[in-house]
């Protein structure tokens, strides 16, 4: 068994940070320290109860902060605290440090961002605990909070953990009740909530039902993710001590906002109950369990292995540049001189030169394809690659595979990219989750899970990693690995508002063994063709472990003739982390798809139904195209979806 990973838990006193702490313990992470940021009250006035008790920070919960020192005694874990001296200078959804708010204070006259206080705190904790490797936080839906913690962790070389990320809120509250987490509401700021709610246990059945009723009536979040309420943890099963409150008062700010000011608190003995390990989501959702059952029992799932022809290329080939009204396609960037590090540097110099001709920069790249001769070179290549995308948040999505002897002679790496035209404006949206969770694999490298421009979403290559361990799933063999990779793709797509069934344009599936082609085809077919709306409705929403499902994403009505999107399957010698399969796909978000299908319906009054997404204006045709360089046998391949292209690689002519 692997040694526990030393971890610091960011705690606010609220339910989510402590529930994440419990999940860390259950997943092999050892909490060695607690960390908290509090309002800037002088140390001589720690008992002061002025209005500074609640800063209404975008990032930190501060109401109830006077209780925080008790948790160190209750858990017998050291607590490190620092004051919040900055403010929300950078209010972008994604965070990237700048010279004006760096912790080094190079510009003392500039106001510091409050997230740099967290950097300073964790940096000091790391100095005291050099064995520290991870940080856990309680983010459920807040990308604002998650990306800021991830930025700090990335700079400090620490793993960010967010076990509750994208978890279904109703289920999280039920699970809190099971583990006995006693979290009391100490602040309300929403329709349907008033000071009478203060002091109620949020995980209590009656409270949960009342919160769900308020959600149905007014909207909002049952777990308070929109700031509807805040909580303070009093105790939990497995704790021998708990927080005692002997004196408090209610503060009414007006406008529906009220909170509890704690005047006298202490640590008291708790009636001990055996600790309950929190429930973990299973590797596959119910809907993907059905896909796995299909590929396990379907007798025709393994097709005859496809034939292949191999010709070793002998001459280098040229880079191609194609400019469309919306995108720039640059393919086969390479260098034949120097070692692998020098080749990558030369490739990026060429790339920047090509982009500059269209007034584009690296920031405009939406997706990249990185072809390696060998995965043994990955670390060296990735280090250089990372340096070019470290100056801004949300790098492009990426697909990376190794093609060994199919690579031209003297070349160790090929890079192809798609970039959006600068004149499109700032329509770029990104999903770059670097925290480890149960949701989908973290992208700790220099690439995003997905980038969307103009409604078209490019998803990074997805392999069958178990999100919480970041290891390839081996329990069900290649079949399970394939289905998990497909689920990872769909979960990322849903977060980008791609409907799981009808929002995908198509993609490329990579396999290492030709015998696994049938498994990939079977899983793809089962998911897209044989799961219909009626099947989805058979699963109660509350059965889901995660927040977003296809029922939450608007999609156009499709006829029964709808077919699965195209999947081109390519065999390659090596995939990342020793995986056997990988999906690299494109989709369109639900708003774009609805507009496109509406236009298609208007253009053809004779058709009563929209037959499939592949027939909409965004996917007018599907073809495999090639641009053959002069003087060699290699072809560059892509899959075209209307005006979009998904670059997937090179092959030998006739192969």
Q: How far apart are CA 525 and CA 563, in angstroms?
A: 9
Q: Hey, which of 49-58, 141-150, 463-472, 583-592 has the most confident mean pLDDT?
A: 463-472
**Residue 648 within any structural domain of the chain:** no
User: How many C-beta neighbours within 10 Å does residue 236 have?
Assistant: 23
Residues 390 and 449 in one domain: yes
**Residue 322 within any structural domain of the chain:** yes
Phi first, then psi, for residue 612 (nearest 5°) are: -175, 155
**Residue 115 within any structural domain of the chain:** yes
Q: Which residues contact 213 (CB under 8 A, 6 or more apart)?
A: none
Residue 16 has pLDDT above 80, yes or no: yes
Of all residues in the chain, what percent carry a pLDDT higher than 90?
64
pLDDT of residue 651: 38
Residues 247 and 366 in one domain: no
Q: How confident is the model at residue 87 (pLDDT cuts 50, 70, 90)?
A: low
Q: How far apart are CA 109 and CA 105, in angstroms?
A: 9
- Which tokens hold the place of 655? 């192969």
Q: How confident is the model at residue 42 (pLDDT cuts 50, 70, 90)?
A: low
Phi-psi region of 56 (alpha: psi -120 to 50; beta: other; left: phi over 0): left
Q: How far apart are CA 34 and CA 122, in angstroms?
A: 10
Residue 421 has pLDDT above 90, yes or no: no
Q: Which residues contact 243 (CB under 8 A, 6 or more apart)?
A: 67, 70, 74, 232, 233, 234, 235, 265, 266, 267, 268
Residues 223 and 313 in one domain: no
CA 117 to mean position of chain CA atoms: 25
Q: How confident is the model at residue 2 (pLDDT cuts 50, 70, 90)?
A: confident
Q: From residue 338, give the alpha-carbon distance in Å to each of 217, 341, 411, 412.
A: 66, 8, 10, 10
Instruction: Summarize the confidence of residues 467-485 as an average pLDDT.
Output: 97
Q: pLDDT tens across 527-543, in order?
A: 998 655 444 444 444 47
pLDDT of residue 608: 46
Q: What is the CATH number of the domain that holds 465?
A: 3.30.1330.40
Strands 413-420 and 365-372: antiparallel
pLDDT of residue 603: 64
Residues 207 and 351 in one domain: no
**Residue 320 within any structural domain of the chain:** yes
By the 8 A CB rule, do 179 and 22 touch? yes
Q: Which residues contact 564 (CB under 8 A, 6 or more apart)?
A: 524, 525, 527, 528, 529
Q: How confident is the model at residue 205 (pLDDT cuts 50, 70, 90)?
A: very high
pTM: 0.88
Instruction: Summarize the confidence of residues 93-107 as an average pLDDT.
Output: 54
Residues 320 and 261 in one domain: no
Q: From residue 359, give the alpha-carbon distance in Å to each of 354, 364, 419, 625.
A: 9, 10, 11, 27
pLDDT of residue 645: 54
Cα angle at 579 between 375 and 306, to 5 degrees?
A: 95
Residues 262 and 362 in one domain: no
Q: What is the average pLDDT score of the chain? A: 84
Cα angle at 568 between 567 and 571, to 5 degrees?
A: 130
Cα angle at 645 between 641 and 650, to 5 degrees?
A: 125
Residues paired with residue 10 on neighbouring β-strands, in sequence order: 35
Q: How far apart are CA 11 and CA 18, in angstroms?
A: 7
Residues 452 and 590 in one domain: yes
**Residue 278 within any structural domain of the chain:** no
The set of long-range contacts for 338-341, using a CB threshold of 8 Å and a minimum separation of 24, is 340/377, 340/380, 340/381, 340/412, 340/413, 341/380, 341/381, 341/383, 341/384
Tokens 């529906």 label which residue? 256
pLDDT of residue 125: 98
By the 8 A CB rule, do 103 and 117 touch? no
**Residue 365 within any structural domain of the chain:** yes
Instruction: Summarize the confidence of residues 333-347 as an average pLDDT.
Output: 96
Per-position b or e across 414-426, b if 16+ CB within 10 A of its CB: bbbbbbbbeeeee
- Which tokens hold the place of 52? 């500074």
Please give the tally of structural domains in the chain.
Answer: 2
Lowest mean pLDDT, pick from 37-46, 386-395, 572-581: 37-46
Q: What is the CATH number of the domain that holds 241?
A: 3.40.50.620
Position with higher pLDDT, 305 vs 510: 510
Residues 248 and 369 in one domain: no
Q: pLDDT tens across 188-198, in order?
A: 998 899 999 99
Lowest mean pLDDT, pick from 157-166, 257-266, 323-332: 323-332
**Residue 571 within any structural domain of the chain:** yes
Position with higher pLDDT, 351 vs 103: 351
pLDDT of residue 298: 74
Lowest mean pLDDT, pick from 77-86, 154-163, 544-553, 611-620: 611-620
Residue 265 has pLDDT above 70, yes or no: yes
Position with higher pLDDT, 608 vs 95: 95
- Which tokens hold the place of 386? 């990372």
**Residue 622 within any structural domain of the chain:** no
Residues 463 and 518 in one domain: yes
H or E stretch covering 160: strand 159-161
Position with higher pLDDT, 2 vs 129: 129
pLDDT of residue 62: 76
Instruction: Summarize the confidence of residues 316-339 as an average pLDDT.
Output: 89
By the 8 A CB rule, do 84 and 55 touch? yes
H or E stretch covering 185: strand 182-189
Boundary-marking domain end, from 248, 269, 290: 269
Instruction: Summarize the confidence of residues 631-648 as an average pLDDT.
Output: 44
pLDDT of residue 324: 87
pLDDT of residue 318: 80
Q: pLDDT tens across 208-264, in order?
A: 999 999 999 999 999 999 899 999 999 999 999 999 999 999 999 888 899 999 999
| Sign of the torsion formed by the C-alpha atoms of 133, 138, 140 and 146 | negative
Q: From residue 397, give the alpha-carbon distance in Å to each of 35, 110, 363, 452, 467.
A: 33, 34, 12, 10, 18
Residues 632 and 516 in one domain: yes
Residue 185 has pLDDT above 80, yes or no: yes
Q: How far apart are CA 438 and CA 164, in angstroms?
A: 8
Residues 380 and 249 in one domain: no
Q: How many CA atoms lie within 13 A of 652 on its CB side?
A: 17
Residues 473 and 586 in one domain: yes
Q: How far apart are CA 165 and CA 176, in angstroms?
A: 15
- Which tokens hold the place of 399? 């697909």
Which residues constitute the domain of residue 474? Answer: 299-529+562-602+628-638
């Amino acid at each position: 068994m692997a040694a526990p990973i030393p971890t610091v838990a960011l705690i606010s006193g609220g339910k989510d940070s402590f529930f994440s702490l419990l999940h860390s313990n259950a997943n092999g992470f050892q909490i060695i320290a607690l960390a908290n940021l509090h309002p800037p009250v002088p140390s001589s006035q720690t008992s002061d109860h002025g209005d500074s008790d609640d800063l209404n920070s975008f990032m930190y919960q501060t109401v109830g902060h006077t209780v925080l020192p008790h948790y160190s005694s209750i858990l017998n874990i050291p607590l490190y605290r620092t004051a919040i001296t900055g403010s929300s200078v950078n209010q972008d959804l994604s965070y990237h440090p700048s010279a004006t708010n760096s912790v080094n204070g190079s510009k003392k006259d500039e106001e510091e961002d409050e997230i740099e206080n967290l950097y300073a705190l964790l940096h000091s904790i790391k100095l005291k605990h050099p064995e520290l490797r991870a940080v856990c936080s309680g983010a459920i839906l807040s990308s604002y909070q998650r990306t800021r913690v991830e930025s700090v962790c990335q700079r400090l070389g620490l793993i960010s953990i967010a076990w509750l990320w994208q978890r279904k809120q109703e289920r999280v509250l039920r699970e809190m009740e099971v583990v006995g987490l006693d979290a009391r509401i100490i602040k309300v700021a929403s329709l349907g909530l008033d000071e009478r709610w203060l002091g109620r246990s949020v995980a209590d059945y009656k409270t949960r039902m009342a919160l769900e009723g308020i959600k149905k009536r007014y909207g909002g979040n049952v777990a308070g993710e929109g700031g509807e309420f805040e909580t303070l943890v009093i105790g939990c099963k497995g704790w021998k001590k708990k927080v005692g409150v002997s004196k408090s008062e209610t503060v009414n700010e007006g406008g529906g906002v009220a909170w509890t000011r704690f005047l006298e608190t202490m640590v008291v003995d708790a009636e001990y109950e055996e600790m309950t390990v929190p429930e973990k989501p299973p590797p596959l959702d119910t809907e993907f369990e059905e896909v796995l059952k299909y590929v396990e029992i379907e007798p025709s799932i393994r097709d005859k292995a496809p034939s292949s022809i191999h010709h070793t290329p002998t001459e280098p080939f040229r880079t191609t540049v194609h400019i469309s009204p919306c995108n720039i396609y640059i393919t086969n960037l390479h260098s034949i001189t120097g070692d692998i590090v020098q080749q990558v540097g030369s490739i990026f110099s060429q790339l920047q030169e090509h982009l500059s001709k269209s007034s584009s920069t690296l920031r405009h790249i939406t997706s990249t394809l990185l072809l390696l001769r060998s995965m043994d070179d990955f670390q060296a290549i990735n280090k250089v690659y990372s340096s070019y995308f470290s100056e801004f948040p949300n790098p492009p999505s990426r697909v990376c595979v190794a093609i060994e002897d199919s690579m031209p002679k003297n070349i160790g790496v090929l890079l192809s990219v798609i970039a959006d035209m600068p004149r499109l404006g700032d329509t770029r949206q990104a999903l770059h989750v670097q925290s480890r969770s149960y949701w989908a694999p973290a992208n700790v490298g220099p690439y995003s899970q997905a980038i969307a421009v103009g409604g078209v979403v490019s998803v990074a290559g997805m392999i069958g990693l178990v999100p919480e361990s970041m290891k390839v799933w081996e329990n069900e063999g290649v079949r399970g690995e394939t289905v998990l990779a497909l689920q990872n793709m769909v979960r990322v797509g849903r977060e980008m508002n791609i409907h799981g069934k009808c929002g995908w344009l198509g993609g490329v599936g990579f396999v290492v063994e030709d015998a696994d082609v049938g498994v990939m085809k079977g899983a793809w077919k089962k998911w897209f063709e044989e799961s219909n709306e009626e099947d989805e409705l058979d699963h109660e929403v509350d059965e889901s472990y995660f927040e977003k499902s296809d029922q939450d994403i608007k999609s156009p009505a499709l006829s029964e003739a709808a077919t699965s999107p195209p999947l081109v399957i390519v065999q390659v010698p090596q995939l990342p982390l020793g995986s056997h399969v990988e999906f690299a796909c494109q989709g369109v978000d639900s708003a774009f798809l609805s507009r496109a299908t509406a236009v298609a319906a208007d253009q053809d009054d004779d058709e009563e139904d929209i037959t499939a997404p592949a027939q909409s204006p965004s996917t007018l045709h599907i073809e495999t195209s090639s641009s053959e360089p002069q003087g060699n046998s290699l072809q560059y391949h892509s899959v075209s979806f209307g005006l979009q292209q998904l670059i997937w690689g090179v092959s030998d002519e006739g192969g």
